[in-house]
Structure 1
């Protein structure tokens, strides 16, 4: 190839490169990577109980789960006597997609999207039969409790 023609080809290649759009990808673009690290979330809980009889108690317990399996060290347990209004906070593990709770004689489980918020409320009771006191009659007591969790 003659030197004049080679110079013309090089000049044409340089002009094409200079005039091309600079944002044009030279390789196929890949889709953005999804967030692979998730973080633990805070949650708050409250537990109230009511009864006409002092001295009896009711408890509540809860656990965070992943695919139905309890995630250890993230649950809670609390008990109260009539008139108590208890509250606290904790950490919902990043991998949790379920929640299970028990209040007195009642229990329930929920599933949720780990990326979203979660709220649950559960009511339960404890019945205490104090026996038959003869001419005083039967002594039956009941205490009701409500657990609420918001994350």
Structure 2
């Protein structure tokens, strides 16, 4: 409860700063040791989660520090996204995709559909497309990139 009060801050200034910096809504209710991070964008939720975790661990929570931690969390998530995109291309043996497409593939790491992670689903699709193309004597590279 004391930490929730510090996250909210005087007159709600800290919680407003977090929400404004991350673009998410924070829901603070009576649930012990829990704050709900609400957003349709899973990347924003992850940035908010990382920043909030670091702020709580450190204990110093004020608007200037919030902005700094959100910026660090955004850089960390951007790095993870790019690494995930590059790793997907390596695992599917695909080369020559533009860096922005790699980032889009990496962002899939934070998306799910019907409980399935879209990042892994996209890689499975690439594998299956390549196998089907091979069986049909079609262009495997093009099928893999399309998958």
- Which TM-score band applies after superposition, normalised by the shorter structure? under 0.3
Structure with bigger strand share is 1
- Normalised by the length of structure 1, the TM-score is 0.25
TM-score, length basis structure 2:
0.26
Structure with greater contact order relative to length (CA < 8 Å, sep ≥ 6) = 1
Structure 1 or 2: more helix by fraction: 2
